[in-house]
Structures are given as structure tokens and as C-alpha cells.
Amino acid sequence: MAVDSHYLAQKILQGFHCHYDRFQRLTRGARSRFLKRAWDAVVSASAERISFYDRQVKETSAAIQRAVGDEFDQALWLATRQRYQSLLKFHPQAELAETFYNSVFCRAFERRYFNNDFIFVETVLHSHIPISVQSQYRSYFPVKGGLQKVLPQIFLDSGLNGEFENFENELEQLRDAFLQRSQETEIEPHDIRIDVLNAPFFRNKAAYLVGRIVTERYHYPFIVPILVNSHGKLYVDAFITNSNRMATIFGFARSYFMVETEAPSALVRFLKDLMPRKTLAELYASIGFHKQGKTEFYREFLHHLQRTDDQLVAAAGVKGMVMTVFTLASFPYVFKVIKDKLGATKAFTRQTVIDRYRMVKRHDRVGRMADTLEFADVAIPLKRISADLLDELTATVANSLQIEGDTLVIKQLFVERRLTPLNLYLEYANDDEIEAAMNDYGLALKEMMAANIFPGDMLLKNFGVTRHRRVVFYDYDEVRYLTDMSFRALPKSDGFMDAEVSAAPDDVFPEQLDQFAVPQQRFREVLLKHHPELKDPAYWRKVQQHIREGRLTDVFPYEQHLRFTRRF
């Protein structure tokens, strides 16, 4: 059967609609899972949603290939792209539909056709947003009835439809926090408008109302976390108004939110107003559209290369045995390629490394594990790669490279936010900074444990420090589930010679962890001052038991001192 551009464009758009409808159905269930405290279902739904996109792309691409056969018809696909573009003029998810088209096309055809004639390397939507930002929020005016009237209405409009533990008390605490913030910023309630996004944001064991306080001169962002107690009653946990704290809650080391929206571009632009330092890539990813996040990142990277002339170089820090890592000084990311030959002590394969990075992608990262973008066939101009780096790449990852004219193509590439390696940070830190960093390193281990993650290699070089001075893990080649490990005590010595230790591959001896992970005595003493239990095998086994019993430990994305005083 002969096919035309209209058929192909409609077929790809139909595939996108199938994906988006399925994505939204699962997202819509977040409210019910939260109210029912179905935390196991929350975890599984988050992991399941990430896999939807690739499944639908594979299915749609196969249908397209069956329709057009093996031969590439340039005229047909030029027309198909133009037809598809015309279908997106008033599409509420137009930017996502562009990305879906790219994914289907790139899966079906050769890399030499990956240019703006056939795919949307550049979006056609820069000057056209089908749905306005105003469609995403409701506005409230305290001048009409005061906060006493506005705050209850915000909760009624939120759609949470749950019973609060003590609604009057919740409102009083929130009103007090609001008035305190008003005094700090010297604004009066009657001089403001309150904008609140239509749908709550759900993640892990919390719901969040997100909005802004608008005055004549400024916008003040806010988040109101809402939790559910053991009796199924809701309560307000905090009122957060600091943009940096909000950015941390939406951070790259956290799992994706579930939030209903028919207009992602409008929602993202509202969030961008609240967190101006966040990129579009980060914001799309934060609300679950991680493929769109990849598209926005790649566009940012291409634009950055056009505006700058510095070269990619090897990343600072100790060379790893699994990945070759490089970076661009003017661009805040690192690029990682799996080595052709892994270090002699690494008893696993290349596919194991890939699987473990993808495992972290699907898992709850509890603010302690950096998100990773995985790309295939990334083209980088050779002139932007330093001679030393090109030599290193050729020596270590040659099987992942292909040179096409003046371009280097990397077959598989992982991208992460560039952080200051913790071991380098500590070299130049003062006593107070060392104290804070080592304490946070211990907290990072505990929070990953609570999420059933054992980092494997806990050397300081595998952790980084963010601009908010938060310690984050970023090296996943030895990551395992905590419940898969066996935490043992060291056998007792007879006093004359060390007892022989017989260890299976999954055995871990916590009494040795501080020595192997933190060999520097100065840093080790600080760590153990704050977290002595990390040396106790019984502590690790206790956490394992809690996980096996289905008890999910609360890990808050904001500081404890911000929480309202609770009475249970």
C-alpha cells in the first residue's frame, strides 16, 4: 500500500496521543495513591511511568517502517515533517509531540538524516505557545475577605478531597507563617495577589501546592507540603517561600513529580518564573517529561557550542576505572562514556553498568543521586575537543567512537550535572565546611539506605557537592539494592594475628567502611562523630528489615526546622 505524508504524520501523532493519554492516566492516579497511603504503589507507578515513552516509540516506529519499507524517500519525509508541523499549530502538547516525532524518526532511519530538514532539531514553537500560562493557575485576592477567606478556598480548590486532621489549626499555622513572611518582605495582604497552580504536585509520600505571591514589584514563590498521617488525615507540614529551597525541592537529584497538565509548556514557564536559574530541561524533567528534558538539554548544548569557543577537556578528579569523563568549562555538565575495558577489579560487564544507571533513573533518588541523561549517537565538532582529550578517548573508549568528517560521533553517552568532587572540596574547605560536608555525606548514605540503595563504592571521589553545599552521589557502576547485600560483623581476632575473613561477593563489613571509604583520619573522625552507627552491622540490617516490611522512611526535601510543630 502506497503511503503519503498525511498518513505518516497522522500515524506518528496518533502514537504520541496514545503515549500521552497513558502517561496522564497513571499521573491522575497519584491523588488516590496519596490519600490511600499506598506507598508501594507510588514507588511502582513512578518507575512504570518512565518506561511508557520508549515502548510507544518502539511500537510507532515499527508501524512506520512496515508502511514505508526499507528505502528512504527524501521527498516523502520532507513533506511528512511539514505536514506534522502544521498539525501542531494549536496542539496543547506541541513541544512534546515534536520530540516524539524525532524519537520515532531516529529509531527508524540512519543518523545521516538527523538534521532539521527531517526532524525538529530546532523547535518551531519558540514564538507560539498554544495555551497561555494563565490557564495553569487560579488567582486569589486577599483584599476581598482577607486571608481568613482566601486560604480555605485555596485548599478547597486544590482537589485533594481529603479530610484534614485539624483544618482550623492547619489554616492558623499557615496564616501565621504567611503573615511572618509578609512582615519580612514588608508587604500587606491587601497589596497582593496569590496565584496557585491548578493541580497539586505529588511525589513519594507528599503532595505540594505550588504558587506565587504577586506584588507590584516582585513575585515571591511558595510551596505548601501536605502530608497524610497514620489515620489517613491530611496536615500542612510547612510554608516554604525561598527560591533556593524551592529549587532544591525541584532538584536534579530527586524523583520526578506527578502533576496533571494539558499544557506542559505553560506549566514549565510558570515554574521558570519561580525558579529562574532552572533550565527548561531541568523543569520538564522535574514534572516527569524526561524525554522532553533531554531534547531541551541537547538544544541548550548546541546553542552553547554556537556561542562559545572553549574546548572539551578531561574532568577534574581521580580517573575512574569504568567511565571516561570530560566536560566543557563554560557548560555545567559532565559527559561520561563507558570504557572499552573496565578496571581489573570490576567483576561486571558493560551491560551491567548500563543497567545500573537505568536502575537509578527509575528509582527514588531521595535528593542524593544525580539524574542522568542517556544519549545515543551524539555528534560533537572535532574542533571543540582538546588534543589531550581526543587522545584519552581514543585510548579508552574507541569502540564507542566514530569520526565522520569534522565530527566525532559518540555512540552512547551519559550526561550529569557537574559537581565539585567531595574529595577535592574537602582539600580546600575550612573546619566548619568539613564538619558540614562530612555530616551531610553520612546523611546521604542514610537517606540512600532508606530508599533501598547501597552505593557500593563509597569513596569520597564518587560524591559531589552542589552549589547549595549538598552532598550528592553520582557514580552508579557498583550500585545495588540494599536488601541484596549481606552485612556482617568482622570475626574476632585472637590477639596474635588477624582472623581470616571469608567473604562472598555480596558480603559487606560495615566496621571497615570508614577506613576504606574515608581513609583520611581527620575526615573519618568527623563522620563518626555524627554517624557512629554506620560502623554497626546491626544498624544496616535493621534498615534492611524495615524495607522488607514495607516501611518507607520519611526523607524530607526541606530542612526539619521549617516544619510546623506537629501534635499526634
Average pLDDT over every residue of 207-212: 96
Average pLDDT over every residue of 316-342: 93
Binding residues: 315-321, 336
pLDDT at site 60: 96
Average pLDDT over every residue of 544-567: 83
Coil vs helix vs strand at 561: helix
The average confidence (pLDDT) of the chain is 90
pLDDT at site 314: 95
Nearest Cα to 45, choosing from 162, 204, 192, 190? 204
- To the nearest 10 degrees (0 to 180), the angle between helices 431-450 and 521-530 is 60
69 pLDDT band, cuts 50/70/90, is: confident
Average pLDDT over every residue of 146-175: 86
Residue 447 pLDDT greater than 80, yes or no: yes
402 pLDDT band, cuts 50/70/90, is: very high
Q: What are phi and psi of 409, to 5 degrees?
A: -105, 125
Pairing label, strands 486-487, 507-508? parallel
- pTM comes to 0.92
502 pLDDT band, cuts 50/70/90, is: low
8 Å CB contact between 107 and 55: no
pLDDT at site 175: 85
Burial 22-58 (b: 16+ CB within 10 A, else e): bbeebbebbbebbbeeeeebbbebbeebbebbeebbe
Q: What element of type H or E holds 411?
A: strand 407-417
8 Å CB contact between 95 and 265: yes
If one counts every other C-beta atom within 10 angstroms of the C-beta of residue 492, the result is: 7
pLDDT at site 91: 92
Residue 500 pLDDT greater than 60, yes or no: no
Average pLDDT over every residue of 471-491: 93
Nearest 5°: the CA angle 421, 422, 426 is: 120
Q: What element of type H or E holds 438?
A: helix 431-450
Nearest Cα to 137, choosing from 234, 214, 34? 214
Average pLDDT over every residue of 94-108: 93
Burial 402-432 (b: 16+ CB within 10 A, else e): eeeeeebbbbbbbbbbbbbbbbbbbeebeee
Residues involved in catalysis: 371
Average pLDDT over every residue of 341-354: 88
122 pLDDT band, cuts 50/70/90, is: confident
pLDDT at site 20: 97
**287: its cell numbers:** 514534572
pLDDT at site 568: 41
pLDDT at site 566: 56
Q: Which residues pair with 463 in a beta bridge?
A: 473
pLDDT at site 23: 96
Residue 567 pLDDT greater than 80, yes or no: no
Question: Alpha-carbon distance 182 to 179, whole Å?
Answer: 5
Q: Which residues, 6 or more positions from 26, have their beta carbon under 8 angstroms from its beta carbon?
A: 45, 48, 49, 52, 258
Tell me the Ramachandran region of residue 132: left when phi exceeds 0, alpha when psi lies from -120 to 50, beta otherwise.
beta
Residue 439 pLDDT greater than 80, yes or no: yes
Q: Which residue has the higher pLDDT, 256 or 346?
A: 256
Give, in order, the Cα–Cα distances in Å from 304 to each of 283, 299, 308, 457.
19, 8, 6, 34
CATH architecture of 421-560: Orthogonal Bundle (1.10)
Nearest Cα to 175, choosing from 561, 556, 558, 564? 564
8 Å CB contact between 36 and 73: no
Question: Alpha-carbon distance 107 to 307, whole Å?
Answer: 30
The mean-pLDDT minimum among 12-16, 148-152, 175-179, 398-402 falls in 175-179
Question: Alpha-carbon distance 323 to 336, whole Å?
Answer: 6
Contacts of range 32-40, beta carbons closer than 8 Å, 24 or more positions apart: 33/202, 34/202, 34/205, 34/206, 34/207, 34/228, 35/160, 35/161, 35/162, 35/228, 35/232, 36/232, 37/205, 37/228, 37/232, 39/204, 39/205, 39/550, 39/552, 40/550
Average pLDDT over every residue of 353-376: 93
Q: Which residue has the higher pLDDT, 328 or 348?
A: 328
The mean-pLDDT minimum among 254-263, 283-292, 448-457, 512-521 falls in 512-521
Binding residues for ATP: 315-321, 336
Question: Alpha-carbon distance 484 to 175, whole Å?
Answer: 47
**20: its cell numbers:** 500521552
Coil vs helix vs strand at 220: strand
514 pLDDT band, cuts 50/70/90, is: confident
